[in-house]
Amino acid sequence: PSIFFVEPDGTEQQVDVEPGTSVMMAAQQHGIEGIVADCGGACSCATCHVYVEERLQGRFAPVGSFEDELLDTTACERLPNSRLSCQLTMSDETDGVRIEVPESQM
């Protein structure tokens, strides 16, 4: 499946990944700088915050309770489509999703 990362300045980058890859991993592997991911995917840092395209939002597993708490501590405003990208697993269902990277993670 493909992910389209949209940087705060509007630059878009397409990344192709294996199913089962997290959006955070994909960002790390392809040098998407706006996703910091301090904790390495353990769902404990909230520096992998992203905004998920609404159209495909429901195809990802729902927000977990721990993720929900962390989403209240993100550097950029929490919106209804906010997620932690380490908790988003790519599959054919989510192919082509646009992921907006926030201005800042700290």
Residue nearest to ligand FES (CB): 86
CB of 23 to ligand FES, least distance (A): 10
Does position 46 bind ligand FES by CB under 6 A? yes
Tell me if 88 contacts ligand FES by CB under 6 A: no
Among 24, 25, 97, 99, binds ligand FES (CB under 6 A): 24
Give me the least distance between CB of 31 and ligand FES, in Å please: 16
DSSP the chain: -EEEEE-TTS-EEEEE--TT-BHHHHHHHTT-TT---TTSSSS-S-TTEEEE-HHHHTTSPPPPHHHHHHHTT-SSPP-TTEEEGGG-B--GGGTTEEEEPPS---
Tell me how far, at minimum, the Cβ of 70 lies from ligand FES, in Å.
Answer: 6
